[in-house]
A and B are shown apart, each in its own frame.
Chain A
Amino acid sequence: MRREYVYLAVLAVMLFVTMDGTYVVEEGRQAIITQFGDPKGDPVTDPGLHFKLPFVQKANFFDKRFLQWDGDADQMPTKDKRFISVDTYARWRITDPLLFFQRLRDERGAQSRLDGILGGETRNAIARHDLVEVVRSSNREEVTTSKDSESEEETSNLQQITKGRKDIIRSILETAAPRVQDFGIELIDLQFKRINYVEEVQKDVFARMIAERKRIAARYRSEGEGEAARIRGEQERELQRIQSEAYRSSQMIRGEADGKATGIYAKSYNQDAAFYAFTKSMETFESGVDSSTTLVLTTKGDLLKYLVRP
């Protein structure tokens, strides 16, 4: 019985030693071996099973992957004195775990350092630029399909920039990267995640947007009325033109016909004007009398002269 206890104890000790003498580096991680808190040897970056001195040495694990730093949304003024809140994110990684371990101990420390450095650099960069430089990234022209006058008015709303978002980000990165190198950190990228007006400014912006819309609406209405009036005017003019042209044409046609007829009559009747007068008066006389007419004839006339002197 006693022997069995001894065996068991020895087994337990051996197990414990093997366990504490090995460590596993997972994929995407790396380790630093410390002996009583003092770093020993190169960082272990190879994933798999590794050995160390039990009890004396300790494995400290760090991430080897690209890490994400997510900044808080900070309120800051731009050069043109607009208060905005800027939310950034950055990508970084631990390139020198030993240095990282010595300077910062762990990721929590790193995150707070990054908060300080990136937050500060962002603030500086924003303060040195107008808002539009931070918002825009190129001098792209506005594209619009509406053919009316709205476009010309609003092209001016896209202000030209000299640097733009990308350059500002690059300048932040360029100043921040050397400062974090001392911590065994490589800063790979930084982006503005969100840029928004702070609450009070936003209210003003909304008011401005509303005013602008109202202006456009008013223009549309007045355009509609103006256009309708123009069409009505056009209608009136067109009507007058059509009617007067028709009158002119018809009068010309009639006049021409009258002239022609007169020419024809003159040519014909001119052969013997007296005879024409005679026939015409005969015709008129014939058609011009009816039962209400009283004719007074004397015997001097051709018709009755034979009554007196047969």
Chain B
Amino acid sequence: MSDQIFEFPNFKPPKMSMKLVLIGVAVLAGLAIVTGSFFQVQPEEEGLVLRLGRLVRTTSPGLNLKIPFVERVIKVPVQRQLKQEFGFSTVESPGRSRRGSQFLGESLMLTGDLNVAVVEWIVQYRIVDPYRYLFMVRHLEEASSSRPFYSSLLHDMNEAVMREVVGDRTVTEVLTVGRQEIESIVEQKLQALSTQYEMGITIDQVVLQNVTPPGPVKPSWDEVNQAEQQRDQLMNEARAAYNKVIPRAQGEALQAVLQAEGYSLNRVNSAEGDAARFNLLYDAYRKAPEVTRRRMYLETMQKVLPRLGGKLFLDEHADGVMPLLPLGELRKMLTTEPEGGAAQ
């Protein structure tokens, strides 16, 4: 387009006013020259000026001049963070991600234990060297209106590197503990590969999105989670029952021991008390044993006799009474008429 020069092979000048036409052409040409001389570079962009196909200078953001028709500008958003998505798409409806079988090709991959996982991720990158990006490497299906500066090469690199990394891990690792490690390793490897490819881009970040088992397998993974929770629940219940019983039993055991100790104290103290009393009594008794014994006997009798229900005094000469004594009737008589028999 820049080296296009006007030519009029079969130009038939209209009769009326050659002058007017020439003026018109001059005005148009002037306008084209003026508009073709200026261009604006946005703050996040860098402008590459090509003079007849050769890169002559790069420009910073702002209003810039160029030679019309001879120079051409390519603007590259070097400051903008670009993004590619794998396994889903938010391009057509931003904010809402679309998933479907058409993206499954990107995200379905083999793990190191020859199982299958669905891994979705995004890569964020920037073009740091526009010259390299544009003129050292060709990207298929470049810049469409919905995805400017979309690099198919980077897309393929991502798929290859992600599969390489996932291919060295078990499906369990990929789905659970390995996420962060995968992100950082993929990031490193991608950066290394893009340096090797001299693409002029830098990888900012690789972020894993949904990482799931493939659809048909999913319920069985959920089942495992469920079973794991059931296991924990059963164990917790058993522990709860344990905790309900054992501390109480420990307390009760302590109670029994303490009670025994109490008994022990009581028993020994009583014994010591009894012994002390007896000792003191015995000391006194030894001084006059005969009279003391007699005194104690009589005192006891004196104390006991009034409380007795029945008293029967027998003369030592009335020997024959003993075998015939009707004790049962006597008692009845004694209890109904207390004075009767006793007054004998």
Contacts and interface: CB of A to CB of B under 8 A. Distances in A.
A56 to B, nearest CB: 20
Interface string A82-124: 0000000101000000000000000000000000000000000
A205 B220 CA distance: 14
Contacts of A224: 227, 230-235
Interface in A24-44: 24-29
A27 B55 contact: yes
Contacts of B331: 294
Contacts of B304: 285-286, 289, 295
Interface string B283-305: 00110010001101110110111
A268 B105 contact: no
Contacts of A218: 227
B29 interface: no
A12 to B, nearest CB: 6
Contacts of B325: 296
Interface string A140-155: 1011111000100010
Interface string B181-206: 10000000000000011100000000
B250 A242 contact: yes
A224 B312 CA distance: 82
Nearest to B249: A242
A53 B257 CA distance: 120
A216 B232 CA distance: 15
B314 interface: yes
Contacts of A245: 253
B44 interface: no
Q: Interface size class for chain A? A: 35 or more
A278 to B, nearest CB: 6
A72 interface: no
Interface in A268-288: 268-269, 271-272, 275-276, 278-279, 282, 285-286
B339 interface: no
B211 to A, nearest CB: 15
How would you classify the secondary structure of chain B's contact residues: helix, strand, loop or mixed? helix
A151 B334 CA distance: 95
Contact of A158 (B170, B293, B330): B170
B316 A300 contact: yes
B39 interface: no
A297 B105 CA distance: 120
A135 B330 contact: no
B45 to A, nearest CB: 18
A278 B293 contact: yes
A213 B281 contact: no
A290 B307 contact: yes
A175 to B, nearest CB: 20
A198 B296 CA distance: 116
B110 A195 contact: yes
B315 A197 contact: no
Contact of B140 (A70, A220, A247, A261): A70
A286 to B, nearest CB: 5
A68 B293 CA distance: 131
Contacts of A137: 164, 167-168
Interface string A46-61: 1111000000000000
Interface in B227-245: 227-228, 230-235, 237-239, 241-242, 245
Given A47-B54, A143-B178, A193-B156, A249 B238 contact: no
Contact of A264 (B223, B264, B272): B272
Contacts of B217: 206, 209-210, 213
Contacts of A269: 275, 278
Given A206-B216, A257-B264, A267-B275, A67 B138 contact: yes
B230 A303 contact: no
A6 interface: no
Contacts of A234: 242
B312 A246 contact: no
A299 B138 contact: no
Interface in B327-344: 327, 330-331, 334
A10 interface: no
Contact of A193 (B159, B198, B239, B279): B159
A3 B86 CA distance: 69
B260 A254 contact: yes
Given A28-B136, A217-B223, A260 B271 contact: yes
B174 to A, nearest CB: 11
Interface of A: 8, 12, 15-16, 18-19, 22, 24-29, 46-49, 63, 65-68, 70, 89, 91, 131-132, 135-138, 140, 142-146, 150, 154, 157-159, 165, 189, 191-197, 202, 205-206, 208-210, 213-214, 216-218, 220-221, 223-225, 227-229, 231-232, 234-235, 238-239, 242-243, 245-247, 249-254, 256-258, 260-262, 264-265, 267-269, 271-272, 275-276, 278-279, 282, 285-286, 289-300, 302-304, 307-308
7 contacts: A135-B114, A157-B112, A195-B109, A206-B116, A209-B116, A223-B231, A282-B300
Given A142-B170, A291-B308, 12 more contacts: A15-B5, A46-B54, A68-B153, A137-B164, A142-B173, A144-B172, A192-B164, A209-B171, A227-B238, A231-B235, A250-B256, A293-B309
Interface of B: 3, 5, 7-9, 11, 50-55, 105, 108-116, 131, 134-140, 152-153, 156-157, 159-160, 163-164, 167-173, 176-178, 181, 196-198, 213-214, 216-217, 220-221, 223-224, 226-228, 230-235, 237-239, 241-242, 245-246, 249-250, 252-254, 256-257, 259-261, 263-268, 270-272, 274-276, 278-279, 281-282, 285-286, 289, 293-294, 296-298, 300-301, 303-305, 307-316, 325, 327, 330-331, 334
A-B pairs with lowest CB-CB distance, top 10: A224-B231, A246-B253, A250-B260, A257-B264, A268-B275, A261-B271, A294-B310, A157-B113, A213-B220, A28-B135
